[in-house]
């Protein structure tokens, strides 16, 4: 398992990436996104994703997946950044993105 320092670095990186991502999404959609305090879990990908889906109480079968690359001076980091909004928020985001693209 990961040591304390590694965990806190991941938490902080997650916090920064999420905040800047939500910021960018705010600009794109003209909506305000408010992040909750970050949480870190190290486990099976499926278990984490399933739990997040269950916790957000998704009744629907669609999520928004944005593919992201993390590029740094010393190398690229492989990973996936997933945004799982609830259905209302997803509708709003999609509507704003589509309208934005048409202008």
Partner 1 sequence: MSEQIRVKIADYAVKKEEGMLITVGLGSCVGVALYDSFAKVAGLAHILLSDSALFKTPSNPAKFADTAIPLLLEQMISVGAKPIRLKAKIAGGSQLFSFERSMTSVGEKNICAVRNVLAVLRIPITGEEVGGSVGRTMKLFVQHRKVVISTVGSEEREI
Using CB under 8 A, list all residues that contact partner 1. Answer: 1, 39, 41-51, 53-55, 57, 59-61
Residue 47 or residue 65: which is nearer to partner 1 going by CB? 47
How many C-beta neighbours within 10 Å does residue 41 have?
Answer: 9
In the complex, least distance from residue 85 CB atom to partner 1, rounded to whole angstroms: 17
Residue 3 or residue 55: which is nearer to partner 1 going by CB? 55
Residue 37 or residue 75: which is nearer to partner 1 going by CB? 37
Beta pairing partners, 64:
83
What CA–CA distance (Å, rounded) separates 66 from 84? 10
In the complex, least distance from residue 10 CB atom to partner 1, rounded to whole angstroms: 14
What CA–CA distance (Å, rounded) separates 14 from 95? 27
In the complex, least distance from residue 86 CB atom to partner 1, rounded to whole angstroms: 12
* H or E, element range at 23: helix 4-29
């Amino acid at each position: 398992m990961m040591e304390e320092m590694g965990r806190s670095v991941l938490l902080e990186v997650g916090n920064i990436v999420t905040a800047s991502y939500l910021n960018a999404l705010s600009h794109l959609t003209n909506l305000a996104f408010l992040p909750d305090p970050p949480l870190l879990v190290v486990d099976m990908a499926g278990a984490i994703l399933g739990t997040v889906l269950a916790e957000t109480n998704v009744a629907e079968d669609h999520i928004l997946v944005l593919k992201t690359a993390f590029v740094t001076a010393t190398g690229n980091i492989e990973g996936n950044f997933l945004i799982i909004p609830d259905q209302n928020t997803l509708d709003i985001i999609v509507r704003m993105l589509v309208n934005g693209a048409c202008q």
